[in-house]
Structures are given as structure tokens and as C-alpha cells.
Amino acid sequence: MNIFESVRLSFRALGANKLRAMLTMLGIIIGVGAVIALLSVGQGAGAAITEQVQGIGSNLVFVFPGQASNSGVRGGFGSASTLTLADANALADRACCPAVAAVAPQYTRNAQITGGGTNTNTSVNGTTPSYLFIRNWRAASGRFIEQRDLESVARVAVLGKATAKTLFGAQDPVGQTIKINRIPFRVIGVMQEKGGTSFFGGNQDDIVLVPITTALQRLFGTTAQTAQGAPRVSAVLVSAASEKQMDVAMAQITQVLRQRHKIVYQQDDFTVLSQKDILGALNQITDILTIFLASIAAISLLVGGIGIMNIMLVSVTERTREIGIRKAVGARRRDILAQFLIEAITLSVTGGAIGILLGGGIGALVNMTGLIKTVVAPSSVALAVGFSVAVGLFFGLYPAARAAGLHPIDALRYE
């Protein structure tokens, strides 16, 4: 008997009890659907993270202050005041760091903003004109901070799109006055919409940008000073000259800062990270969570496989006389084995196909919510199909072998 005849007989046997076959496939359907849905959400989250990190800027290197330690407990990045404005200026010196294209120091704090008859609490970022180049950002209206604003310690501000909308609605805020911590600032520009969530948390369009000299001297005063009285910064954004020079730029930054901070044998009191480092860490976390959730969903496949084995054993018992008749008229052991094995695989593959459609449908529903864009990769579908075939083969092998091993005389006598 050829394979096509075995498949035809399998479908006929399963069709004789459609409800039982459907219930048997339910575990496979739910398992495959859950695996596809969770993998698509995980891959979509990974793609969103990659887009977010790459959207921060080009060839970007982050320099954070060190970690403060209190009674042996270490704080997070930036908990120690170890980076100063002078450090950022040293990194911008091409003689010291030839692999560095641009440097933008930042001093960031939350503040109360009032304007347009309303108020909001948002992030105020003191920075320099290089910030625009490093972040691959542009002003939608007006202009960005210029060198003259730094030199004159000007009370000027550039609003993020979300902040501008919160304060002024549809009105153009350029030329209007806002107050940051009750200090008046003139709005000189509004940034283009970036969209999404900032790597540092929160909406990256909900921000106010001011000259760093103004932030350090007029807005935050003594809170922006180190113990030695030097102006400190929250972080330094550095753009490497090219992607190939990222590692060289990081090495030069480390060397300059170690020299400036007089570090010889001690641990660095700063942290240098590249986009690739951050992206790799975030994607690793996403991958672990995706695999963990998909593994839980795969338990349904195991349960479905046990269900297939159970039903196939019942089927062997019910069709014992049929097996005896087929063997009596010349059916070989391998013919019986193939028939029942193909029935088990047919159950699992059919359930797997329905599960793929279910998982794709769940992914489409998640897309409609707008929370995340799911990605159903061909590798996920191939994995689901392969797993469902393996489940049918593994759990169908014992019932098929039992059917094939029946003695024809004993099978014919079975009632």
C-alpha cells in the first residue's frame, strides 16, 4: 500500500468520528497557536527595541557617571557626580579623541513648566548645539540652540512636540514665553516628532531643551555642582566618526577620562556604552522572556500529544477486528504501522495548521491595538510545523507499533 492510500484511509478513519478528532487536536491547536502568538509578539518587541535604540542617534556612545556606594550598596548609573562639563569639552578635542565626531553633554532634571495657560511636569535637558547632529533630530519650526545661546547663557528653550501640544495645543509656541521653575524662557523652536518611548524612559517628545550653561548657572544652580564646585553633567553623548571606529572611540574616551580623573589602578568612576552594547543587552532580555513564555505554551503541545496517544490507543482497540482482517488478506506489519502512524501525524499536522492560523490571528489582533507590531517569522511557522509533526510521530509510534504487532488470529477473535 502506497503513502497516498495510507493518507486517504487515515482521513476516512478520522472522519468517522469528527468530534473526537477535533477534541484530540485541541491541545495541538492551542499549543501551536500560543507558541506562534508569543514568538510573534517577542520578535515584534525585539524589532521595536532595535528601532528605538537606533533612532536615538548614529554611531552613538553613552558616557555615564559612576555608581555611588552607600554601606556596600551600589546605586545605578549616574548616582555619583563624576562627570563634569570640562570632561565633555576634553572629549570634544580632536587631538585627544580623533575617532570622535561630536560631543553633547547633558544635564537633565524634571521641572515644572508653565505656559499657554497650563502647566506640566517634564524633563528639562540642558545641552549643546551638537545634540541635534548626534540625535539625528531636526527642529520642525523655529531653530535649535546655537553657540551664541551658550555664550550668553540665554534663557531660551526648544520644546518637544508633545510638550508643545500640552502647553499650547495647536498654537505655534515659537516666540511665546514659558516659565521653568518660575524662571521665564523664550521659546525659539519646536522639535520634529520622534515618536515612541525614550531609551531613558518616558515619551521622548515630552522634553524641554535649554542651553547647558543656562541649566547649570540659572536653572539648577548649586545642585549642578560637584563637591569641588565644577559644573557636573548627567551624561555625555558622543558620536563616533564612523561605525567602524566605535570601539576605537570608546577606547579613546576611556583613556582621556581615566587620565583626567587620575585613575591608575582603581575601577573606572564612569561607564562607557555603545548602542550595540545596549541593543545586545535589551534583545537578550527580550529573547529570554520570549523563550520562557513560548516554553510554557509548548506544554500544551505535550498535553496534546498525550491526547493523541490516548485516542490512538482507543482506536487500535476499537479496530482490532479490522486489523485482523487486513492482516488475513495480506497486509504486512509495516502497512498497519504506517496507517496508524499517518493517522497520528495527520491529527497533529492538521491541528498545527489550525494553530498557525489561530496564532497569526492573535498577532493581527495585537497589531490592531497599536501597542506593538507583531512579526510572524517563517522560522516560527517552520518550528511550529516541525514540532507538531514530531509530536504526532512520537506519540503515535507506540499505538501504531501495538496495532502492527497484533496477531491476525487473536485480532479476528477479538470482540
CB 250 within 8 A of CB 72: no
Tell me: do 159 and 308 sit in the same domain: no
pLDDT (tens digit, 9 = 90+) per residue, 43-89? 777 777 776 666 666 688 889 987 644 444 444 444 456 788 889 99
Q: 131 — alpha (psi -120 to 50), left (phi > 0) or beta?
A: alpha
Final residue of a structural domain among 238, 266, 294: 266
Q: Is residue 305 part of a domain?
A: yes
| Rounded Cα gap, residues 229 and 363, in angstroms | 55
Of the pLDDT bands very low, low, confident and very high (cuts 50, 70, 90), residue 319 is low
pLDDT surpassing 70 at residue 172? yes
pLDDT at 107: 92
pLDDT surpassing 90 at residue 224? no
Instruction: Look at residues 206, 210, 215, 165 and name the one whose alpha carbon lies nearest to residue 187.
Output: 210
Instruction: Look at residues 235, 217, 229, 321 and name the one whose alpha carbon lies nearest to residue 278.
Output: 235
pLDDT at 311: 74
pLDDT surpassing 90 at residue 211? yes
Q: Is residue 36 part of a domain?
A: yes
For the ranges 61-70, 137-146, 154-163, 244-253, the lowest mean pLDDT is seen at 61-70
pLDDT surpassing 90 at residue 148? yes
Tell me: do 115 and 13 sit in the same domain: no
pLDDT (tens digit, 9 = 90+) per residue, 25-39? 787 888 888 888 888
Q: Is residue 172 part of a domain?
A: yes
Tell me: do 85 and 218 sit in the same domain: yes
Tell me: do 241 and 350 sit in the same domain: no
Q: Helix H segments across 261-332? A: 275-318, 320-328
Q: How many residues does the chain have?
A: 415
Final residue of a structural domain among 216, 235, 266: 266
pLDDT surpassing 50 at residue 161? yes
pLDDT at 53: 65
Q: Which residues pair with 180 in a beta bridge?
A: 113, 183
Q: Is residue 276 part of a domain?
A: no
pLDDT (tens digit, 9 = 90+) per residue, 266-294? 888 888 888 777 777 777 777 787 777 77
Q: Is residue 328 part of a domain?
A: yes
| Rounded Cα gap, residues 43 and 38, in angstroms | 9
Per-chain mean pLDDT for the chain? 79
Q: Domain tally for the chain?
A: 2
Question: What is the residue range of 128's domain?
Answer: 81-266
Q: Is residue 60 part of a domain?
A: no
| Rounded Cα gap, residues 191 and 195, in angstroms | 11
Q: What residues contact residue 273 under an 8 Å CB cut-off, 6+ apart? A: 61, 62, 64
Tell me: do 102 and 168 sit in the same domain: yes
Final residue of a structural domain among 266, 296, 311: 266
For the ranges 147-156, 257-266, 344-353, 391-400, the lowest mean pLDDT is seen at 391-400
Q: Is residue 381 part of a domain?
A: yes
- Give kind and range of the element (H or E) at residue 183: strand 183-191
The cell for 365 is: 489582533
Q: Is residue 365 part of a domain?
A: yes
Tell me: do 335 and 377 sit in the same domain: yes
pLDDT (tens digit, 9 = 90+) per residue, 346-392? 878 888 888 888 888 888 888 887 777 787 778 777 877 777 777 77
pLDDT surpassing 80 at residue 168? yes
Tell me: do 307 and 244 sit in the same domain: no
Tell me: do 104 and 225 sit in the same domain: yes
DSSP-derived pairing of the beta strands 156-159 and 183-191: parallel
Tell me: do 351 and 232 sit in the same domain: no
Tell me: do 140 and 244 sit in the same domain: yes
| Rounded Cα gap, residues 151 and 158, in angstroms | 17
Tell me: do 258 and 308 sit in the same domain: no
Supply the DSSP string of 20-53, one letter for each residue: HHHHHHHHHHHHHHHHHHHHHHHHHHHHHHHHHH
Tell me: do 141 and 241 sit in the same domain: yes
Q: What residues contact residue 84 under an 8 Å CB cut-off, 6+ apart? A: 226, 230, 231, 232, 233
